[in-house]
Amino acid sequence: MSAHRSEIVRAGLWTNNPGLVQLLGLCPLLAISGTVVNSLGLGIATIATLVLSNSLVSLLREHVRPEIRIPVYVLIIASVVTVIELVMNAWFHGLFLVLGIFIPLIVTNCAIIGRAEAFASRNTVPDAALDGLAMGVGFTAVLVAIGALREVVGQGSLFDNAHLLVGEWGRHLRIEIFPQEHGFLLAMLPPGAFLAMGLLIALKNVIDARLEGKPVAASVEPEPASEPGERAPSRS
């Protein structure tokens, strides 16, 4: 893998992680991260959306005039999300019912239009797809980490309801760490999501600070000024 490609992956997973660094897409991130399975379900849907929308935006970048690029991106993303919603409704109905309104709301995840504008519209299709995949996986990793933290602390289990994602055999995946009655309610409530998120960001900063103390092999390029994470005042 070329240095350029590995930089794309690094950015998505760590240095410019949409959840922890860009702080984009907080609405689904905080609202749906109650359990690992919900997180994973929404994460996979987001990965699919990012890869498809980035690829399409990159594919069409020569044909889209600058004046109408944002409406076109919105159209592409909305179409992709609707298609994913229909497919989930047809083949993962249980999970679809749990995630409910948050699947169509992927449209409003700023990380997706952010990547379309900041990356996919200026790069080749393979690079854009890779960026979508890396950003999506980075976002999903944060979602699942928060989901695991909240599920363990809040209801003392892991992989509850896994059958919604993988079929009937998933019922056996549930791990009970302690009985549900002793769960810490705060973790399940929305403030728990903010707390978990804050802890994760703090953890990332600590790790980054440690790494900075040592000589780092590959120098991390500074983010381009046009990165939406830095200028977008409103975040969803």
Partner 1 sequence: MARVVVRDILITTLLLGLFAATGTGLVAWVHLATSDRITENRLAMTRMRVTQVLEGLEYDNDPVVDATTVSHPQLGGTGLPVWFARRNDTVVGMVLSAIAPNGYAGPIHLLIGVDTQGQVLGVRVTQHRETPGLGDDIEADRSDWIHGFRSRALGDPPIEAWRVRKDGGVFDQFTGATVTPRAVVQAVRNALVYVQEHGDALQATPPPDADQAVVIEPLPPAEAEHVAPGGPPPVPGTPEGIIEVEP
Q: What residue ranges bind partner 1 (CB under 8 A)? A: 34, 63-65, 67-68, 71-72, 75-76, 78-79, 82-83, 86-87, 89-91, 93, 96-97, 100-101, 104, 154-155, 183, 185, 188-189
Minimum CB distance to partner 1, residue 223 (Å): 30
Which residue lies nearer to partner 1 by CB, 76 or 137? 76
Which residue lies nearer to partner 1 by CB, 13 or 31? 31
Which H or E run contains 59?
A: helix 36-59
Which residue lies nearer to partner 1 by CB, 100 or 167? 100
Minimum CB distance to partner 1, residue 164 (Å): 12
Which residue lies nearer to partner 1 by CB, 97 or 211? 97
Q: How many angstroms separate the CA atoms of 125 and 191, rounded? A: 39
The dihedrals phi and psi of 18, each to the nearest 5 degrees, come to -60, -30
Q: How many angstroms separate the CA atoms of 192 and 93, rounded? A: 27
Minimum CB distance to partner 1, residue 23 (Å): 25
Which residue lies nearer to partner 1 by CB, 104 or 170? 104
The dihedrals phi and psi of 197, each to the nearest 5 degrees, come to -60, -45
Minimum CB distance to partner 1, residue 5 (Å): 29
Minimum CB distance to partner 1, residue 75 (Å): 5
- In terms of C-beta density within 10 A (0-12 exposed, 13-18 middle, 19 or more buried), how is residue 162 classed? buried
What ranges make up the beta strands (E) of the chain?
157-158, 175-176
Measure CA of the first residue to CA of the last residue in the chain; give whole Å: 34
The DSSP annotation for 48-104 comes to HHHHHHHHHHHHTTTTS-GGGHHHHHHHHHHHHHHHHHHHHHHH-HHHHHHHGGGTG
Minimum CB distance to partner 1, residue 189 (Å): 7
Which residue lies nearer to partner 1 by CB, 102 or 119? 102
Angle between the N-to-C axes of helices 36-59 and 125-155, in degrees from 0 to 180, rounded to the nearest 10: 170
- The SS3 of residue 176 is strand
Q: CB of 113 within 8 A of CB of 36?
A: no
Which residue lies nearer to partner 1 by CB, 68 or 202? 68
